[in-house]
Structure 1
């Protein structure tokens, strides 16, 4: 393993890039972080990505011994199957299927609704988008049950997939004043978010808050 080449092509503000980095850190895998200066941190466009991810043309891309893997959830499963220590997905087939289900729910339902409600939709449409986003958050909160993390007592696939909700969303709320996630509305999910972002290994993968604030402020002023 020591001689393996592991590189992550990403963008500093991308929660999807940070997912991959967190998975590698959980596994204890050494990797080279490659961020092209001409990557747009929100649009994720970079000429180099055309070689490694010609289908979606966005970060992150994992390069393992010269072979590229794209899409963060796909990459995380690849990492989990390649390096067996500290498993990220459950071993039980049903529990594994449920973890995949909730991770896909986050990407396909939660994140699009949150983006729209946060700042990327016309002001007149944000109220409806906020209702949809809160509905998604309520559904996601139900998946936690009484557990500390979605993965039980430790960070797993769904926790990693929800990193945007735990960290990025609360910064967007601070910038826009649009409150979606709060201790009053979603006490269980809010507590999970605090637990998640305060994990030492997670902290290592979070971008600086001040830089994200500046980035989002610049976007809202356009």
Structure 2
């Protein structure tokens, strides 16, 4: 997997940042460092080895430049990808688009059984994340037990690697940025280890953390936990 290029994090653009030279032939991925949706596209870019092909453009979503909505992406959210004179959005669509339309190792297997299961896992991710997030106002440990058990069982489908489809793929990318944050929150605020009694999930997290293309995108722990407190625990 092409992940050896060091990814330097540029400063986030704000309301006082000058507009970029839009649609000048440069391919740009607009993200926010705290956003798990944007992180999906960032991971895909890195794992394809596209650091020199797709410019990373971080946006401060708490103080975003007005030109982003006006000139780049009318929905005014991240991620978005400026490519070939158009702008595309929606993270699950973007990871497929980047994988299919750029050079680098394929992040989705050709094996029909794996493709079918990969599509199933990707289609389930919104159900998983919304269920976990809605539990934060209740009893998260109890309410999310079945959701984590679902992942544990899914990780037993193929035995040729520690990931959902054996090898690291778009199915893992769909989940990993969310699991990263959920694990932090459960440990910090609910004093619970989501991998307890789930050895496959524990191995999945451990092995994902060895992948450079993902490691380079990981969220700042303290910054994220502070943002979480403001959003969910205020």
Separation (CA, whole Å) in 1 of partners of 2:123 and 2:104 = 24
Q: RMSD in angstroms over aligned alpha carbons?
A: 2.7
Partners of 2:107 and 2:134 lie apart in 1 by 30
Q: Which residue of 1 aligns with 2:5?
A: none
TM-score, structure 1 normalization: 0.80
Q: In the alignment, which residue of structure 1 is the partner of 2:86?
A: 67
Aligned: 1:149 with 2:172? no
Structure with larger RCO (C-alpha < 8 A, sep 6+): 2
> Which of 33, 38, 53 is the matching residue for 2:56?
33
- Shift of the alpha carbon at 1:167? 1.1
CA, structure 1 residues 49+151, in 2 after alignment: closer, same or farther (shift >3 Å)? Answer: farther
SS of the residue 1:59 aligns to:
coil
Aligned to 1:11: 32
Taking a change above 3 Å as real, the CA distance of residues 106 and 46 of structure 1, as seen in their structure-2 partners, is farther
Alignment equivalent of 1:163, drawn from 168, 176, 188: 176
Q: Is the 8 A contact 2:40 2:177 kept in 1?
A: no
* Superposed structure 1 runs of 4+ greater than 6 Å apart: 44-47
Q: Distance in 2 between matches of 1:155 and 1:68?
A: 27
State the Cα deviation string for residues 18-67 of structure 1 (Å, max 9, x = none): 11011011111122222233x149xx99772465544x542111111331
**Whose helix proportion is higher, 1 or 2?**
1
Name the SS of the counterpart of 2:124 in structure 1.
Answer: helix
Alignment counterpart, residue 132 of structure 2, candidates 107, 110, 114: 114
- TM normalised by structure 2 equals 0.77
Aligned length: 206
Secondary structure, counterpart of 1:34 in structure 2: strand
2:103 pairs with 1:80: no
Q: In 2 relative to 1, CA 179–40 (structure 1 residues): closer, same or farther, beyond 3 Å?
A: farther
Q: Is the 8 A contact 2:31 2:58 kept in 1?
A: yes
**Equivalent position of 1:216 in the other structure:** 228
User: 1:175 aligned to 169, 177, 188, which one?
Assistant: 188
**Residues 117 and 197 (structure 1), Cα distance of their counterparts in 2 relative to 1, 3 Å cut:** farther
Q: 1:130–1:180: 8 Å Cα contact kept in structure 2?
A: no
Deviation at 1:93, TM superposition (A): 3.6
Aligned equivalent of 1:192, options 183, 204, 207: 204
1-structure distance, mates of 2:69, 2:151: 32
